[in-house]
Amino acid sequence: MLPWVHTTSWILHHYASSSLDQASFIMAPYIHTGPIDCERDFDPSSVKGKTAIVTGGNQVQMLSQYHNLALAYRHTGASGLGEAYVRALVAAGSTPGGRAANVGSPSALWLERSPSLTRNLFASSRTKFVPCDAGHWDDQVRLFENAVSLSPNGRIAYVVANAGIHRPDEVFEQPHPDQEPAKPDLTIVDINIKGPLYTAKLAAHYFIRQNGSTPTLGQEDTCLILIGSGAAFLDCPRAPQYSASKWAMRGIMHSLRRTTYYYGSRVNVISPWYVRTKILPEKTFDHVSKVGVQFASAEDAGQCLLRILSDPSVNGHSFFVTARKWASRGYVDLDLEDYPGNALLGEVQEEQMLSAPVSAGLFI
């Protein structure tokens, strides 16, 4: 999505246990083989019985570029795209023909502020909401500890770093030419870059604890999902901090994707286009629609997530959740993360890694 829908709280989503064990495998090193085929059918049953963390959903801040009006909305629990990811995972992880047992009960606070979502998710799966500030390390540590304690096998399979914010960008804003500029507020950077970096570190810590740091047949698939935006690869005027933070998600992915195989893991990016959700006023989206923009859907974002998680071979790619006019299933691999056919950049990439080759090990 372009920069105005964002979340900052945390959601722990825990699936029903499954009698189906995932087959052991050895994760392959990263090799570019072209874009992922997003048109083919896929089987999401492999996510059943897994424990996942999805961040985001507490506070939404939005700057209407069209009305020059800053608005703030508060929601507790999953909302917007975070809710879509949780709902998709719940649907894929639920037990056919029955309901899974709940893990405890949500507090009165959660029930009061997010009644319909809480009822629906707690009625069909093991789901728990954990309050967390994405920019605080200790909060994220507590989040992961909660996930492990609630997991039947003490393992975390998937982490979706969905939390982020957007606010008026003080790097772009300028005072009157006769006035001296003030130090800009960099909260967007603090939350949107520091937060996912904390999440990435903690995810890797638990994945390595579970799988070790040497590829072996007994490792189980794990995956980190980073959330970009149209601003992660398109010009997005008047929002340098937000654009920097979303390009950063691709940078984190590029830095990790060649070594995650050591601990049986993967990393990918999902970049949503405009998505109409309940967390913003309808009139805001109506204005965008009236100028001719076609929206992507939250449901397609959830299916994009399942497409990635269900296929252990998908590593190091970025997916664009888009309007159906551009992709029949609402998401596509634009194949932006490599340079096939460009001999110069291929050679430069190889020399970039010569002094510290991937083959030297995870930690050198």
Q: What is the pLDDT of residue 165?
A: 80
Q: Yes or no: say if 86 and 301 are a contact pair by the CB < 8 Å rule.
A: no
In a domain? residue 364? no
Given a cut of 90, is residue 37 above it in pLDDT?
A: yes
Q: What is the pLDDT of residue 6?
A: 34
In a domain? residue 39? no
- pLDDT class of 138 with cuts at 50, 70, 90: very high
CA dihedral (117, 118, 122, 126) positive or negative? positive
Q: Yes or no: say if 215 and 312 are a contact pair by the CB < 8 Å rule.
A: no
DSSP 335: -
pLDDT by residue (tens digit) across 194-212?
Answer: 999 999 999 999 999 999 9
In a domain? residue 40? no
Instruction: Give 158's strand partners.
Output: 52, 223
Closest CA to 121 of 15, 38, 37: 15
- pLDDT class of 280 with cuts at 50, 70, 90: low
Q: Yes or no: say if 206 and 144 are a contact pair by the CB < 8 Å rule.
A: yes
In a domain? residue 146? yes
Cα gap 136→128, rounded to integer Å: 20
Given a cut of 70, is residue 84 above it in pLDDT?
A: yes
User: Is 217 exposed, middle or buried (CB count within 10 Å of its CB: 0-12, 13-18, 19+)?
Assistant: exposed
Tell me what percent of the residues of the chain surpass a pLDDT of 70: 77
Given a cut of 80, is residue 63 above it in pLDDT?
A: no
Q: Which of 42-51, 59-68, 301-310 has the lowest mean pLDDT?
A: 59-68
Tokens read off for 68: 């020059």
In a domain? residue 57? yes
For residues 303-307, give the mean pLDDT.
97
pLDDT by residue (tens digit) across 283-302?
Answer: 878 998 999 999 999 999 99
**Half-sphere exposure of residue 318: CA atoms within 13 angstroms, side-chain side:** 26
Given a cut of 50, is residue 24 above it in pLDDT?
A: yes
In a domain? residue 95? yes
- pLDDT class of 281 with cuts at 50, 70, 90: low
Mean pLDDT computed over every residue of the chain: 80
pLDDT by residue (tens digit) across 156-165?
Answer: 999 999 988 8
Q: Yes or no: say if 98 and 78 are a contact pair by the CB < 8 Å rule.
A: no
**H/E segment holding residue 99:** none
Domain that holds residue 272: 45-165+183-353
In a domain? residue 34? no
For residues 159-184, give the mean pLDDT.
89
Cα gap 341→339, rounded to integer Å: 6
Q: What is the pLDDT of residue 302?
A: 95
Q: What is the pLDDT of residue 290?
A: 93
Q: Yes or no: say if 32 and 338 are a contact pair by the CB < 8 Å rule.
A: yes
In a domain? residue 88? yes
The length of the chain in residues reads 364
Tokens read off for 207: 């994945």
Q: What is the pLDDT of residue 91?
A: 86
- pLDDT class of 135 with cuts at 50, 70, 90: confident
Q: Which of 113-127, 220-234, 252-266 has the lowest mean pLDDT?
A: 113-127
- pLDDT class of 247 with cuts at 50, 70, 90: very high
Backbone angles phi, psi at 128, to 5 degrees: -140, 135
- pLDDT class of 322 with cuts at 50, 70, 90: very high
CATH code, domain carrying 276: 3.40.50.720
- pLDDT class of 95 with cuts at 50, 70, 90: very low
How many domains does the structure of the chain reveal? Answer: 1
